[in-house]
Every structure is written in structure tokens, then in C-alpha cells.
């Protein structure tokens, strides 16, 4: 018996569709057995990839790890393992920049088995007659008019403080920053930090200690949070009966009314360079990310598909109260964070700095943006053009 092992993250969305895929794969390939381990969301976002590559054949990865994976030869390029037509279909049917986020130095190092970005989440029953905010002005109007027992919230543990900061800088800025190695405009950064401070002042006091799963669990189990403007979407919570209350999702607000800038997330399915059975591994990867599997078995087992066919499928949307169709515009207008070797350390430190500055309320925002601009090249190995 050939034993293959994978690592994912410990949420129904992260583990259940892969267990279902492995069970189906074993029926078609009785000589192979695939098992999965799972780590927490925080570990998934920040855990060093190099500590996983020696132990696992498959790794579900966050795309900012790609630069480090390339530099340390941790993942196999998929271009020589998968049919070119299949890869072309994956690229054509990408949700926003999901496929491109796993492309590095002209090679494809993972496929978007799962697609996500920061979207808004809300409880329709708690919103009452209020409309879903389209602009930030709408958001503050909503916050002021909700009953005192019901408030907005926003996940603001360090990594998600960074996520919201990056989303809003992408939304409000006019020039690329950080992802291409360039600096963030100081005025844009200050404007965003001021907006985040206002959002948090209008939000649940525990927002500083919550990640998206904490907030969505709270929204599904209690009736105190009506709306969050920036929160990574989980289609599980939009399915009737998943928790006591159904959470719905939509596009993020912006000053222009167009849902631009959302920092994309999602998960890529990759094959580690230590895998000894690459042909079987490639077959599993192809099966799991194919359109037909994604909109049936993958979705039906609590997965959040990455293939565009699933996002536009009527049956899929009907079973999750329109989660995919109602957030697709935000994902298509999303932004991609840096992927340089060393970036994960930057993201972790930047998130701590952003959260701490807003938590203390000192308002030293210009100095903070300058520190962040100086931190990126200090921690990341940014390729020099022409080398």
C-alpha cells in the first residue's frame, strides 16, 4: 500500500472536502491511501513551510509562502506533472487572482482548490430594514442606527489587522505598493489607519481579539453582531443549519461604491518536493481541483471551491444562500499581497505593529507607515530587476 500524507488546517472547510476526496481517490486507486493532518488557522497563516515539506506529500498553502517555497525548493512545479490543457482551464476559470497567486518565476506551484477574500458578513434578521453598506459612509450610518444591543465587528488579531490594512490601502491608493517591492504612500497609509480606528470604535469591544472564525461563530451562535465589513468569507456559515443562525455574505464597502482592493486569501493544493509518488499525487491534485469535483463532492463536504464554475453554479449558490454569487465581484476586484522569500515574518510583525498602534490610540500613524516601509526590505529578499 502506498501511503501519502497531507497537511491542511483545522476547520470543516479545510479538512472535510479533502477527506472526501481521499476516500473517492482510494476507490479509483486502491493501491494508495491518503491521510491528512490539520493545524490551527493561525499556524496555517504563519507556520514555516520548510518544517512541513519533509513530512508531507501534499501541503495546503497560503500563497504568500510561495517565494520562500521557491527559494528553498520546497514544492514541485506542477507544469511538468499536469496536462497543459488542464492547467489552462484552471487559469481561465480562476476566481480573481487565485490561480496567479501560486505562479512564481513562470512556474505553477499550487492550484486554487479553495478561493477566498475579505468580504462582508451580516445577519439579515438583525439588520432589519437597513440596507447593506456600499460605501464607508453607509457603514457608519448603519453603526449609528443599530439598536444598542447589536453592533458591527471586525476581526483584528494581528494577521487580520494587517489584512484589513492591506485591503484598504489597495482600495484607497492609486499606486502599487509592497507586492512589487515599492513603498506604500504615506498619506494613503495614514488615511487607512484613521479609517480603521473609526471602524473599531464603532465595533464590538472584543474585535481586537477575534479572527474571522471567532466572529462568524459568534454571529452564528448569538444575536449581538449584525455586520462585519471586512472578514474572510466562509461559505459554511451561509448554509442553513450549520449553526443556530445563518450568516449571509456580500461585497465589501468602498468610498467609490465598487468593492475593490480586498486582500485575497484562499488555499492552494501543492505537492512537496519530498513526495516520492508524484504521478499519484498529481492525479489526486487534478481530481480535487477539477470543475466537476469542485462543484459537487468538494462543496458538498463543507469545502469552499476555487474553480469559477462552482461560484456561478445555481445549485451551489442555492444551498448556501448565494454566498458565491454575492461575493464574486469582490474577489474579482481583489488584491494580492507580497510573496517574497521572508514575507511571512513581515506580515506577522506588521500585523502586531498595526494592531498595537490602533489599540493604544496614540495616532502616530505617519511614523508607523514609515516603519512598515522600512521593515519590508529588511525582512524580505526582494529580487532586483535585471538580476
Condensed to tens digits (0 to 9), the pLDDT of residues 273-324 reads 999 999 999 999 999 999 999 999 999 999 999 999 999 999 999 999 999 9
Mark whether 161 and 222 lie in a shared domain: yes
Return the ∠ at Cα 110 (arms to 328 and 63), rounded to 5°. Answer: 65
Would you state the pLDDT for residue 351? Answer: 98
Mark whether 99 and 112 lie in a shared domain: yes
Cα Dmax for the chain: 62
Mark whether 217 and 353 lie in a shared domain: yes
Mark whether 11 and 95 lie in a shared domain: yes
Check: CB of residue 70 under 8 Å from CB of residue 341.
Answer: yes
The domain that holds 373 is classified in CATH as 3.40.190.10
Mark whether 273 and 348 lie in a shared domain: no
Mark whether 125 and 106 lie in a shared domain: no
Condensed to tens digits (0 to 9), the pLDDT of residues 76-110 reads 999 999 999 999 999 999 999 999 999 999 999 99
335 occurs within a structural domain: no
304 occurs within a structural domain: yes
Cα separation, 198 vs 241, whole angstroms: 34
Cα separation, 195 vs 161, whole angstroms: 12
244 occurs within a structural domain: yes
334 occurs within a structural domain: no
Mark whether 172 and 219 lie in a shared domain: yes
Cα separation, 375 vs 20, whole angstroms: 42
Q: Is 50 exceeded by the pLDDT of residue 386?
A: no
Using CA atoms, how far residue 270 sits from 6, 16, 23, 37, 364, in Å, is 10, 17, 19, 15, 41
Condensed to tens digits (0 to 9), the pLDDT of residues 17-57 reads 999 999 999 999 999 999 999 987 666 665 677 778 889 99
88 occurs within a structural domain: yes
316 occurs within a structural domain: yes
89 occurs within a structural domain: yes
Would you state the pLDDT for residue 384? Answer: 64
Condensed to tens digits (0 to 9), the pLDDT of residues 168-185 reads 999 999 999 999 999 999
Residue span of the structural domain in which 278 resides: 2-116+264-325
Domain total in the chain: 2
Mark whether 90 and 188 lie in a shared domain: no
Would you state the pLDDT for residue 32? Answer: 96
**Number of residues that this document lists for the chain:** 387
330 occurs within a structural domain: no
Amino acid at each position: 500500500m502506498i501511503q501519502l500524507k497531507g497537511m491542511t488546517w483545522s476547520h470543516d472547510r479545510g479538512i472535510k472536502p479533502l477527506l472526501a476526496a481521499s476516500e473517492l481517490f482510494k476507490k479509483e486507486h486502491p493501491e494508495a491511501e491518503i491521510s491528512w493532518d490539520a493545524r490551527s488557522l493561525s499556524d496555517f497563516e504563519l507556520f514555516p513551510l520548510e518544517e512541513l515539506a519533509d513530512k508531507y506529500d501534499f501541503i495546503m498553502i497560503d500563497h504568500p509562502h510561495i517565494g520562500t517555497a521557491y527559494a528553498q525548493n520546497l514544492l514541485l512545479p506542477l507544469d511538468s506533472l499536469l496536462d497543459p490543457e488542464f492547467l489552462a482551464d484552471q487559469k481561465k476559470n480562476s476566481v480573481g487572482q487565485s490561480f496567479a497567486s501560486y505562479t512564481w518565476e513562470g512556474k505553477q506551484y499550487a492550484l486554487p482548490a479553495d478561493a477566498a477574500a475579505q468580504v462582508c458578513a451580516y445577519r439579515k434578521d438583525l439588520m432589519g430594514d437597513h440596507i447593506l453598506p456600499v460605501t464607508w459612509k453607509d457603514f457608519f450610518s448603519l453603526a449609528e442606527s443599530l439598536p444598542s444591543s447589536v453592533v458591527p465587528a471586525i476581526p483584528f488579531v494581528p494577521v487580520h489587522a494587517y489584512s484589513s490594512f492591506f485591503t484598504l490601502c489597495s482600495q484607497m491608493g492609486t499606486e502599487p505598493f509592497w507586492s512589487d517591492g515599492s513603498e506604500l504612500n504615506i498619506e494613503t497609509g495614514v488615511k487607512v489607519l484613521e479609517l480603521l480606528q473609526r471602524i473599531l470604535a464603532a465595533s464590538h469591544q472584543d474585535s481586537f481579539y477575534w479572527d474571522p472564525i471567532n466572529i462568524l461563530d459568534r454571529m452564528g451562535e448569538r444575536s449581538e453582531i449584525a455586520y462585519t465589513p471586512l472578514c474572510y468569507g466562509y461559505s459554511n456559515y451561509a448554509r442553513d443549519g450549520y449553526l443556530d443562525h445563518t450568516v449571509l455574505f456580500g461585497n465589501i464597502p468602498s468610498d467609490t461604491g465598487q468593492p475593490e482592493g480586498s486582500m485575497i486569501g484562499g488555499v492552494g493544493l501543492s505537492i512537496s518536493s519530498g513526495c516520492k509518488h508524484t504521478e499519484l499525487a498529481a492525479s489526486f491534485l487534478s481530481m480535487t481541483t477539477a470543475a466537476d469535483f469542485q462543484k459537487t463532492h468538494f462543496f458538498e463536504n463543507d469545502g469552499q471551491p476555487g474553480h469559477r464554475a462552482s461560484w456561478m453554479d445555481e445549485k451551489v449558490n442555492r444551498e448556501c444562500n448565494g454566498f458565491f454569487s454575492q461575493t464574486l465581484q469582490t474577489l474579482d476586484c481583489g488584491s494580492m499581497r507580497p510573496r517574497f522569500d521572508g514575507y511571512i515574518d513581515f506580515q506577522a510583525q506588521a500585523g502586531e505593529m498595526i494592531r498595537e498602534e490602533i489599540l493604544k490610540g496614540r495616532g502616530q500613524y505617519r511614523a508607523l507607515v514609515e516603519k512598515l516601509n522600512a521593515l519590508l526590505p529588511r525582512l524580505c529578499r526582494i529580487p532586483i530587476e535585471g538580476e
